[in-house]
């Protein structure tokens, strides 16, 4: 045997040659003992790699000479040299396979486990694959995987070996370590003390792997529930730089003792760093993604809401927020019995009291010229007192004392008092209830932290210092902010602020530390601030409360109310907290100063222009306030004007409903014609405004623009948003038909007549057949590719609505364009009834046009005839048969055109088998009502005109289904 010193001096390659040469003369039976002795000598000399090789050579001899294998002797050798550190991983893995091949499963497992445990007893882990190799032997021995893993985990803990365990060992041991520690307090203490040896791992594997091992230890602690055993000092030292989700789990396990002196702040109404407790009433109108009760569902329990109100102030506040959201969205679904819910809430003293208080508050707000509060109050009162709410039926005097303020005064007060847009503050910020919200905005002293979240997050800090902080994955519900030195993540749990320092990144997530000295740190930001708008006489107050920021001018007028939360959805702009408003620069100082000089006449002009649509409003703004040039301020002024216009429509509706006289100075656009009253809901008034503006545009083009031989484009006019009242111009006669029939219920008849009176308020033209509705489609579409179609559709959808054309006989206005069926709707006006047959360039007819039946004189005559004579005597069966015979289509189609109830027809007259497309049925039905309504009581329905129209237009130009 060469001396170990000589072997070491020869180097690995030379040492192996020396040993091999020394072994050459030996017989085979003595080779394995020779190399095993060499292993012992090399271990003592500290030559581990050569020792591993020598031990492997001994085992190779046994493979080459199977007859020499003595498993009992080999087991003893393993039990001797594994603890000594002379056996390498390859020999151990081979030994496990040899045992499995040579011995019964139970004995093979027991022997190999004994070898591994011998290493544990000697203070070392024999090799990294102990878990998978022992699991394999255990499985063959019918030992459960969990039991084997937990056995190994416990032995490792008791031997104190986990601090130096490799990455592979930690990865395999995490779950079983947590399981055994959960069951045994002594093992829990050992696991807590098993912090990986950073210096050892840095040297062995590098800093990155060392940190991964440490994070696995922390994960193991969290999985075992160790947080309940950890001190506050531990979190600030041993537990520093922990992966965020793991640290939060440990903190939750530790509980309140980590925050012994914390102040409970949950519910602080004026704290701009706290998300609102109940967000539902401040979400945008008709935002149906809330988790409010399904008030209309069969499982809705008004008694449960009443019990919540009776439980105390918090329950009362909860219900008040839910109620506000319910009333705001009332009428959203057409098939929901909202009045039933109102009756249920009114029928219980607790909920009735809250509802009554809400109504009184809305009435008070409706009486003040505070624009945002006026709008909210009128919107709620209109819904609650209308058909959707039915409160007036339950309590007729509920609206007593309600006198809506003048929207013009409210608009003037808002613009002169100061609006957020003057400081570039957006008005469309959307608070979010989701813990995964896309953005957060937190102020702390002189720093504002805005965080954009997606897969990763980026925090932009503005203020005394400006910087950007890139954050990896953030746990849900965390609020990032900057304390002047470092980034902080906070959450509010059971009313207590819990704050964690950001320590960089570990893996794909953010690493945090809970420092006992700053564990309850929270952003310091005022809930109220003062800001002086350019040119204002005094400062305005900006106050945060209950999820909204209210701006109050120096004279007490509330000029703005913005939804606000430090947690925002990804839609809309970001509203800064009150304390940051004074730090913002004016968006347009000259424009702001001009708002202070605005007079009532200018405000009235802005409001009326807002009724006419965005282009008209923009034109009025340029004329009334030319100094306002910055886009943010222009948008803010126009938004205020639109709100005031909506207030006007709502005020008209609520005054009509409660029987209060309308103010004498209503704009002409919304005033009904003499003798033609109609139910002035905001929707119907909005529709009337649109029709009058359409008529005004058509008449002005006809009268003011020179006639030419071909149509030419005059300009693009402003159109207000569409409103629908149940009927289109080309189906008005068919809609009116049931009103004259004797079997129509009186309630339905009155609804029809109300719509007819509404139509009579919006005449287009000066007599019969002076107006018609056209359905147009782009010309020249044949041969175009799909991509070309889409490009044309996008252009027309954007540019076509509002196009005003002068035609040879009058004028034409395109109202909209629908990409779905590539169809535009247009109104054509010709005072003499002579229409241009070509249509505007670039368009062709999608189907045959139908003249508008309902001019004012005709509607008034029809209503008077019904009042004097009652319904017209119509023979339903005879009319159906006559129409089918004269038109030449089937009896079933005639039934569908006339829409007579089945019960009044002969048994052999049925709608089964109708083939006429729906647009054609509507068009034929439109001709059944005679031009002179008096003919209904003498000759009946105009079957001849309907049949003639079908033979002229329907057969020759069939409509698309």
d(CA 549, CA 563): 6
Name the strand (E) or helix (H) holding 858. helix 856-869
d(CA 140, CA 464): 68
Percent of the chain residues past pLDDT 70, beyond the cut? 96
**What pLDDT, on the 0 to 100 scale, is given for residue 276?**
83
Best CA proximity match to 832, nearest among 651, 707, 743: 707
**What pLDDT, on the 0 to 100 scale, is given for residue 911?**
63
**What pLDDT, on the 0 to 100 scale, is given for residue 436?**
67
**What pLDDT, on the 0 to 100 scale, is given for residue 435?**
63
d(CA 752, CA 759): 11
* pLDDT exceeds 60 at position 956: no
**Three-state helix/strand/coil letters over 148-162:** HHHHHHHHHHHCCCH
Best CA proximity match to 773, nearest among 863, 698, 696: 698
Local structure of 553: helix, strand or coil = coil
CB 857 within 8 A of CB 829: no
How do residues 156-198 score in pLDDT, each as one tens digit? 999 999 999 999 999 999 999 999 999 999 999 999 999 999 9
- List the structure tokens of 221: 């602690």
Helices 631-658 + 407-417 axis angle, to 10: 150
- List the structure tokens of 780: 């020249």
**What pLDDT, on the 0 to 100 scale, is given for residue 568?**
85
Percent of the chain residues past pLDDT 90, beyond the cut? 63
How do residues 744-769 score in pLDDT, each as one tens digit? 999 999 999 998 888 888 766 444 56
CB 848 within 8 A of CB 953: yes
d(CA 145, CA 323): 56
* pLDDT exceeds 70 at position 322: yes
Phi, psi of 549 (to 5 degrees): -105, 125
d(CA 220, CA 176): 9
d(CA 35, CA 15): 12
How do residues 800-836 score in pLDDT, each as one tens digit? 999 999 999 899 999 999 988 899 999 999 887 788 7
Q: CB 314: neighbour CB atoms within 10 A?
A: 12
d(CA 840, CA 803): 10
Lowest mean pLDDT among 7-16, 202-211, 408-417, 540-549: 7-16
d(CA 867, CA 459): 71
d(CA 834, CA 38): 118
Tell how strand 803-806 and strand 712-716 pair up.
Answer: antiparallel
Lowest mean pLDDT among 257-271, 533-547, 858-872: 257-271
Distances (CA, A) of 42 to 8, 84, 898: 9, 11, 109
d(CA 935, CA 861): 11
Beta bridge mates, 491: 498
CB 725 within 8 A of CB 657: no
Local structure of 488: helix, strand or coil = strand
CB 891 within 8 A of CB 876: no
CB 542 within 8 A of CB 551: yes
d(CA 840, CA 828): 11
- List the structure tokens of 291: 């988790």
**What pLDDT, on the 0 to 100 scale, is given for residue 596?**
96
Sign of the alpha-carbon torsion through 335, 341, 342, 347: positive
d(CA 670, CA 645): 11
What DSSP character marks residue 522?
-
How do residues 22-79 score in pLDDT, each as one tens digit? 999 999 999 999 999 999 999 998 999 999 999 999 999 999 999 999 999 999 999 9
Q: CB 785: neighbour CB atoms within 10 A?
A: 8
Helices within 225-312 (DSSP H only): 232-236, 244-254, 302-310
Instruction: Please give the distance of CA 283 from its chain centroid, rounded to a whole number.
Output: 10
Mean of pLDDT over the chain: 90
Distances (CA, A) of 155 to 116, 121, 916: 10, 9, 86
d(CA 50, CA 29): 22
d(CA 891, CA 897): 10
**What pLDDT, on the 0 to 100 scale, is given for residue 960?**
37
**What pLDDT, on the 0 to 100 scale, is given for residue 431?**
77
**What pLDDT, on the 0 to 100 scale, is given for residue 729?**
76
* pLDDT exceeds 80 at position 683: yes
| Stretch 15-20: mean pLDDT | 91
- List the structure tokens of 206: 């590098």
Confidence of residue 958 (pLDDT cuts 50, 70, 90): very low
Residues near 787 by beta carbon (within 8 Å), at least 6 away in sequence: none
Output b/e per residue, 77-113; b: 16+ Cβ within 10 A: bbeebbbbbbbbeebbeebbebbbeeeebeebbebbb
Confidence of residue 915 (pLDDT cuts 50, 70, 90): confident
How do residues 267-304 score in pLDDT, each as one tens digit? 678 889 988 877 777 777 666 666 778 887 778 899 99
d(CA 769, CA 763): 12
Which tops the pLDDT comparison, 676 or 51?
51
**What pLDDT, on the 0 to 100 scale, is given for residue 290?**
65
**What pLDDT, on the 0 to 100 scale, is given for residue 763?**
66
CB pairs under 8 A, 24+ apart, for 813-819? Answer: 813/694, 813/697, 813/698, 813/717, 814/776, 814/840, 815/694, 815/719, 815/722, 816/722, 817/793, 819/793, 819/794
Q: CB 710: neighbour CB atoms within 10 A?
A: 12
- List the structure tokens of 652: 């008209």
Beta bridge mates, 471: 457
Distances (CA, A) of 943 to 73, 469, 789, 946: 115, 78, 41, 5
Local structure of 778: helix, strand or coil = strand
Helices within 761-837 (DSSP H only): 786-799
Tell how strand 528-531 and strand 540-545 pair up.
Answer: antiparallel
Best CA proximity match to 591, nearest among 542, 636, 625, 566: 625
Best CA proximity match to 421, nearest among 642, 595, 635: 635
CB 852 within 8 A of CB 771: yes
- List the structure tokens of 597: 């000089």
Distances (CA, A) of 273 to 444, 446, 514: 9, 14, 20
CB 108 within 8 A of CB 137: yes
Tell how strand 823-829 and strand 771-778 pair up.
Answer: antiparallel
């Amino acid at each position: 045997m060469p001396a170990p010193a000589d072997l070491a001096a020869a180097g690995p390659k030379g040492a192996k040659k020396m040993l091999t040469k020394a072994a050459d003369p030996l017989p085979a039976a003595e080779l394995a003992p020779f190399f095993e002795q060499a292993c012992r000598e090399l271990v003592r000399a500290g030559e581990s790699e050569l020792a591993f090789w020598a031990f492997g050579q001994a085992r190779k001899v046994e493979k080459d000479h199977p007859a020499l294998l003595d498993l009992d002797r080999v087991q003893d050798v393993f039990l001797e040299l594994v603890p000594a550190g002379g056996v390498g991983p390859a020999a151990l893995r081979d030994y496990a396979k040899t045992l499995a091949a040579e011995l019964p499963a139970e004995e093979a497992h027991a022997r190999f486990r004994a070898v591994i445990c011998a290493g544990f007893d000697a203070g070392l882990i024999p090799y990294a694959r102990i878990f998978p190799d022992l699991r394999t032997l255990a499985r063959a021995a019918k030992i459960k995987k969990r039991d084997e893993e937990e056995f190994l985990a416990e032995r490792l803990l008791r031997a104190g070996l986990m601090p130096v365990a490799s990455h592979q060992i930690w990865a395999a041991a995490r779950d079983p370590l947590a399981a055994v520690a959960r069951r045994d307090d002594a093992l829990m203490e050992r696991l807590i003390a098993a912090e990986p040896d950073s210096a050892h791992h840095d040297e062995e594997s590098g800093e990155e792997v060392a940190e991964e091992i440490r994070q696995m230890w922390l994960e193991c602690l969290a999985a075992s529930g160790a947080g309940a055993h950890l001190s506050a000092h531990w979190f600030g030292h041993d537990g520093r730089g922990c992966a965020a989700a793991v640290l939060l789990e440990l903190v939750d396990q530790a509980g309140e003792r980590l925050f012994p002196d914390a102040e409970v702040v949950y519910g602080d109404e004026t704290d701009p760093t706290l998300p609102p407790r109940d967000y539902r009433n401040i979400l945008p109108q008709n935002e149906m993604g809330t988790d409010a009760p399904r008030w209309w569902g069969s499982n809705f329990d008004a008694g449960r809401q009443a019990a919540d109100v009776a439980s105390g102030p918090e329950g009362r506040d909860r219900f008040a927020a839910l109620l506000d959201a319910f009333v705001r969205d009332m009428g959203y679904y057409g098939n929901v019995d909202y009045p039933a819910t109102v009756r249920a809430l009114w029928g219980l003293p607790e909920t009735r009291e809250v509802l009554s208080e809400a109504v009184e508050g809305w009435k008070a707000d409706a009486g003040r010229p505070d624009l945002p509060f006026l709008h909210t109050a009128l919107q709620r009162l209109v819904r609650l007192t209308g058909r959707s709410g039915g409160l007036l039926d339950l309590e007729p005097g509920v609206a007593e004392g309600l006198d809506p303020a003048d929207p013009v005064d409210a608009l003037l007060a808002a613009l002169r008092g100061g609006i957020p847009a003057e400081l570039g503050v957006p008005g469309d910020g959307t608070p979010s209830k989701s813990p995964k919200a896309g953005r957060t905005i937190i102020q702390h002293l002189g720093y504002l932290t805005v965080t954009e979240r997606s897969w990763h997050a980026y925090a932009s800090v503005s203020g005394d210092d400006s910087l950007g902080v890139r954050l990896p994955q953030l746990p849900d519900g965390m609020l990032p902010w900057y304390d002047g030195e470092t980034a902080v993540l906070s959450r509010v749990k059971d009313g207590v602020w819990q704050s964690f320092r950001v320590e960089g990144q570990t893996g794909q997530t953010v690493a945090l530390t809970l420092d006992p000295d700053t564990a309850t740190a929270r952003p310091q930001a005022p809930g109220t601030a003062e800001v002086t708008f350019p040119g204002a006489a005094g400062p305005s107050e900006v106050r945060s409360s209950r999820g909204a920021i209210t701006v109050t001018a120096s004279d007490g007028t509330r000029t703005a109310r913005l939804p606000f939360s430090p947690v925002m959805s990804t839609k809309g702009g970001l509203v800064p907290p009150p304390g940051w408003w004074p730090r913002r620069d004016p968006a347009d100082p000259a424009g702001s100063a001009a708002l202070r000089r605005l007079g009532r006449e200018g405000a009235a002009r802005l409001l009326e222009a807002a009724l006419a649509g965005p282009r008209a409003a923009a034109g009025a703004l340029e004329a009334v306030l030319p100094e306002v040039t910055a886009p943010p301020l222009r948008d803010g002024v126009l938004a205020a004007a639109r709100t005031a216009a909506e207030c006007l429509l709502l005020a008209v509706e609520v005054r009509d409903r409660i029987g209060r006289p309308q103010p004498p100075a209503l704009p002409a656009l919304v005033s009904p014609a003499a003798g033609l009253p109609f139910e002035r809901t905001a929707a119907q008034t909005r529709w009337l405004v649109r029709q009058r503006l359409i008529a005004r545009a058509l008449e002005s083009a006809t009268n003011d623009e020179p006639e030419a031989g071909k149509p030419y484009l005059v300009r693009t006019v402003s159109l207000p948003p569409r409103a629908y009242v149940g009927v289109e111009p080309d189906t008005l006669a068919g809609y009116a038909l049931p009103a004259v029939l004797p079997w129509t219920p009186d309630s339905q008849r009155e609804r029809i007549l109300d719509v007819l009176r509404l139509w009579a308020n919006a005449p287009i033209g000066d007599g019969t057949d002076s107006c018609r509705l056209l359905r147009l489609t782009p010309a020249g579409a044949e041969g175009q590719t799909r991509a070309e179609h889409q490009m044309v559709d996008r252009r027309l959808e954007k540019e076509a609505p509002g196009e005003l054309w002068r035609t040879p006989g009058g004028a034409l206005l395109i109202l909209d364009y629908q990409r779905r069926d590539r169809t535009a709707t247009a109104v054509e006006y010709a005072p003499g009834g002579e229409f241009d047959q070509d249509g505007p360039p670039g368009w062709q007819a999608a189907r045959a046009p139908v003249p508008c039946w309902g001019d004012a004189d005709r509607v008034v005559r029809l209503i008077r005839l019904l009042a004097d004579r009652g319904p017209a005597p119509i023979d339903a069966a005879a009319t159906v048969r006559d129409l089918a015979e004269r038109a030449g289509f089937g009896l079933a189609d005639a039934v569908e055109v006339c829409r007579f109830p089945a019960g009044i027809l002969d048994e052999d007259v049925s709608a089964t088998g109708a083939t006429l497309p729906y647009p054609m049925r509507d068009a034929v039905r439109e001709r059944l009502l005679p031009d002179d309504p008096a003919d209904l009581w003498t000759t009946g329905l105009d079957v001849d005109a309907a049949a003639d129209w079908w033979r002229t237009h329907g057969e020759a130009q069939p409509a698309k289904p």
